[in-house]
């Protein structure tokens, strides 16, 4: 008998990626698709599902939804309105919004007033390579943001060697799907086609998520400057970091030792690229040093490793399944 999952927010970009992954999952099946209003069918919204997986999207009621795992693919501030009700019913939740990723102080400074501070304190940050044991027993996992996933995985191995008197600079670039399904002036085809531009430089909400997690891991404060850019590709993300070290070292050796047992982190000896990870769960990392200066580059699929496949990896751990079940390793990306 398979375990069951409910996907709340199934019609969005991240939600539909969850549907794709779970349709092919060997041990978890979709028990229900949910949205704010319901009444739609997934195969009508996304014709690729025709004849393969066809289902209605039902109105979401947190008092009635069932499943061994509940995925919340909802906008920021919406998840915290319903997650507590699910948890109080004994359900286990993977939340893909930012509502449970940050400390109360930082969430309220960068987002809005938090409506569920009690469960916020219980949430586990869902980056398996770093917090696997805590994820396994957590009732609530906060799925990391896309930029933070690439930034934290690439920088964590170097935390013992960072010169903290100098800032870390992060230059990041993401495909337009990272902006979500709803179109805006910046994501309109006429704006993004043949174009590249920074957005929310130094003030992007993911900057505090990266900083907070690196400070938890390193147990010391850091100064961090983060500038994201939108680029005219559908999916994929490249995060480049520049920092100073306390002493010269071999960065490839550091990375290989840190991730020796992690099959979904690949260490490269040449600069990484987006197309090699698009459609997969991999995070590819490259680093090079000149004396005490360090350059680190990480590439991921923002919709998968930065959202949906990471959520499935977390669910696998929470349900005592093999972590790699249902996670894509190869993809056809033209």
Query: Could you give the residue numbers annotated as active site?
Result: 146
Long-range contacts, stretch 181-190, CB < 8 angstroms, 24+ apart: 181/11, 181/12, 181/13, 186/230, 187/230
Buried b (16+ CB within 10 A) or exposed e, 297-323: bbbbbbbbbbbbbbbbbbbbbbbebeb
DSSP lists the bridge partners of residue 141 as 94, 124
Give the alpha-carbon dihedral of 80, 32, 319, 49, to 10 degrees: -110
Give the alpha-carbon dihedral of 224, 169, 99, 233, to 10 degrees: 170
What is the strand order of the sheet 237-244 is part of?
197-198, 224-231, 168-175, 237-244, 293-300, 283-290, 265-268
CA distance 26 to 120: 31
User: Do residues 11 and 38 touch, judged by C-beta distance below 8 A?
Assistant: no
SS3 content of the chain, % helix, strand, coil (to 5): 30, 25, 45
Q: Which residues contact 14 (CB under 8 A, 6 or more apart)?
A: 73, 96, 303, 307, 308
CA 333 to chain centre: 20
CA distance 187 to 192: 6
Query: Which residue bears the tokens 């982190």?
Result: 265
Angle at the Cα of 31 (from 25 to 32), degrees rounded to 5? 120
CA 287 to chain centre: 22
């Amino acid at each position: 008998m398979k375990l069951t999952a409910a996907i709340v927010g199934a019609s969005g970009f991240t939600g539909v990626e969850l549907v794709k992954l779970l349709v092919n999952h060997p041990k978890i099946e979709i028990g229900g698709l949910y949205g704010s209003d319901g009444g739609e069918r997934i195969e009508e919204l996304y014709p690729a599902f025709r004849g393969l997986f066809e289902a209605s999207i039902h109105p979401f009621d947190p008092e009635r939804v069932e499943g061994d795992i509940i995925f919340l693919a909802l906008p920021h501030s919406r998840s915290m309105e319903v997650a507590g009700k699910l948890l109080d019913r004994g359900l286990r939740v993977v939340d893909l919004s930012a509502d449970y990723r940050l400390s109360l102080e930082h969430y309220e400074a960068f987002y809005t007033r938090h409506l569920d501070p009690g469960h916020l304190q219980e949430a586990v940050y869902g980056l398996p390579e770093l917090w696997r044991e805590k994820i396994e027993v957590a009732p609530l996992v906060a799925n990391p943001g896309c930029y933070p996933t690439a930034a934290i995985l690439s920088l964590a191995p170097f935390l013992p060697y960072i010169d903290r008197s100098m800032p870390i600079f992060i230059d990041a670039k993401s495909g337009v799907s990272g902006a979500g399904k709803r179109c805006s002036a910046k994501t309109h085809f006429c704006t993004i086609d043949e174009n590249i531009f920074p957005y929310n430089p130094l003030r992007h909400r993911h900057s505090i998520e990266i900083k907070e997690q690196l400070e938890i891991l390193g147990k010391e404060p850091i100064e961090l400057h983060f500038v994201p850019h939108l680029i005219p590709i559908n999916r994929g993300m490249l995060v480049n970091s520049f920092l100073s070290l306390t002493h010269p070292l071999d960065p490839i050796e550091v990375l290989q030792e840190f991730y020796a047992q992690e099959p979904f982190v690949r260490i490269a000896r040449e600069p990484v690229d987006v197309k090699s990870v698009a459609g997969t769960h991999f995070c590819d990392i490259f680093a090079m040093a000149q004396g005490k200066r360090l350059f680190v580059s990480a590439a991921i699929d923002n919709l998968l490793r930065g959202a949906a496949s990471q959520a499935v990896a977390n669910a696998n751990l929470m349900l005592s399944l093999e972590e790699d079940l249902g996670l894509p390793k190869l993809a056809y990306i033209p």
